[in-house]
Homo-oligomer: A and B are copies of this chain.
Amino acid sequence: MITKLENGSVTSPQGFKGGAASCNVKGIEKDDGKLDVSIVLSDSDCTAAGVFTTSQFVAPPVTIDQETLAKNNDTIRGVITNSGNANAATGAIGLENAKQMLVATAEACGGSAGQYLVMSTGVIGVQLPMERIAKGIVGAANDLGSSDAHGLRASQGIMTTDTFVKMSAVEVQLSGGAVRIGGMSKGAGMIHPNMATMLGVVTTDGAIAPDLIKEMMKDAADVSFNRISVDGDTSTNDTVLLLANGASGIEISRSNQTDYELFKTALIQVCTELAQLIVRDGEGATKFAEIVVSGAKSKTDAHQIANTIATSPLVKTALAGSDANWGRVMAAAGRAGVPFDQYATTLKIGNDGESWLALTESGLPADYLEDDAAAIFAKTDIHIWLDLAQGDAAETVWTCDLTHGYVTINADYRT
């Protein structure tokens, strides 16, 4: 059984602490006191894994974490994150500064620099203000605690232009007892010169072997964080980390397949909520859409088509306008680069993923009332289901609408 932990976050699993501090990373004249340094710390060593941006313009913190995890993914103690500056396009100095953040965190929290991971989000092309950051790290370390309030503060510390804090936690009953999974994420902010950086930290007090945790992180990210699209742009800093400290005394392994599957389901639930919250907080977003493509010959095909629909400006403006424009969905699917028979396709829409209205059948307009379609598109949550009838593979992606608010945030802002 999986139980949602209200107000839970990275500190919900046993043996994890969170803390944050404000050190004016952005260096704004009138310091707004925003929490901009965040620490997640485990009382004991963790196994850990991460998924990272595939951008060619990769930021120094990403490079460092990849190197750290390649050398050591079983004695990780925690994660240090700053918001307000992405430490991206910063070259050799940026690399050195990211390393300094690890050294300062180890000094403040214990252990060695190689036992910590680092994330940054915010302005790019500007060097970190290391003096202020050092103070922020000490402040966040002094703030550490295991309450929900500490988890909340740690989650607030990684926000940039996010309009709400993104947290999720569950308790899952396994045969040997209860294990907890908690997490925080941030996204949304694409105001210049920020990127749409997606950051996430997921913690668990289950024990997971070093090899298995890599696989679990990848599998969970594939069906959650890798299924969201705000505007098709990905960042220099995208990072999601998973830390398992084993404090529950319960090991997750394939030797107990039932427990293993249940834990994985719970992990995916937390990651999915953290990912969907990012979409719901997309810049200017007023609608949340689930795009399902089924009947494809392969999962890759299904994902490619779903993603093309999800990133189509015409589809996204149709969502904004509450216009059940099936022509735009079909046109996006048609240009995804995946061959299929247009006259075998069916397109349906709905609001709950259970009851559906067919807009097209056999590739031709179905017999439906415009008012019924408009009523579905007028709601906040919209489900779009395209069946190709070419095979058995299906994929889902989540997206938001493209609104005047998006243009205002991203075009009307001046450097």
* A121 close to B (CB within 8 Å): no
Q: Could you tell me which residues of chain A, from 321 to 369, have a CB within 8 Å of some CB in chain B? A: 321-328, 330-336, 338-343, 360, 362-365
**Total residues of chain A contacting the partner, CB 8 A:** 74
Does B334 lie within 8 Å of A236, measured CB to CB? yes
A388–chain B nearest beta-carbon distance, Å: 9
Stretch at the interface among A27-35, A55-63, A169-177: A55-63
* A314 close to B (CB within 8 Å): yes
| Sample of 7 A–B contacts (CB below 8 Å) | A57-B334, A89-B363, A89-B364, A233-B313, A313-B313, A318-B411, A322-B414
Does B411 lie within 8 Å of A321, measured CB to CB? yes
- The 8 Å CB contact of A415, one of B232, B325, B363, B415, is B325
* A90 close to B (CB within 8 Å): yes
Chain A: residues with CB nearer than 8 A to chain B?
A: 53-58, 88-91, 124-126, 190, 192-196, 231-236, 311-314, 317-318, 320-328, 330-336, 338-343, 360, 362-365, 370, 373-374, 401-404, 406-408, 410-415
Chain B residues near A317 (CB, 8 Å)?
406-407, 410-411
Using A323-B415, A410-B317 as known contacts, say yes or no to A90 and B364 having CB atoms under 8 A apart: yes
Bound together, the chains give a CA A362 to CA B91 distance in angstroms of 9
- The 8 Å CB contact of A327, one of B124, B327, B336, B338, is B124
Chain B residues near A328 (CB, 8 Å)?
192-193, 195, 233
Bound together, the chains give a CA A154 to CA B246 distance in angstroms of 75
Does B56 lie within 8 Å of A338, measured CB to CB? yes
Using A232-B313, A317-B407 as known contacts, say yes or no to A413 and B323 having CB atoms under 8 A apart: yes
Bound together, the chains give a CA A57 to CA B328 distance in angstroms of 11
Does B335 lie within 8 Å of A231, measured CB to CB? no
A-B residue pairs, 6 tightest by C-beta: A57-B334, A55-B334, A321-B411, A317-B410, A320-B411, A317-B411
> Which of the listed residues A231, A320, A326, A411 has the most CB atoms from chain B within 10 Å of its own CB?
A411
Does B125 lie within 8 Å of A364, measured CB to CB? yes
A75–chain B nearest beta-carbon distance, Å: 31
Q: Which residue of B lies closest to A321 (CB)?
A: B411
Does B403 lie within 8 Å of A411, measured CB to CB? yes
Bound together, the chains give a CA A192 to CA B54 distance in angstroms of 35
Does B313 lie within 8 Å of A231, measured CB to CB? yes
Bound together, the chains give a CA A323 to CA B318 distance in angstroms of 27
Chain B residues near A91 (CB, 8 Å)?
343, 362-364
Does A232 lie within 8 Å of B54, measured CB to CB? no
Bound together, the chains give a CA A91 to CA B360 distance in angstroms of 12
Does A404 lie within 8 Å of B402, measured CB to CB? no
Does A231 lie within 8 Å of B314, measured CB to CB? yes
Using A195-B331, A360-B89, A411-B320 as known contacts, say yes or no to A313 and B55 having CB atoms under 8 A apart: no
Chain B residues near A324 (CB, 8 Å)?
415
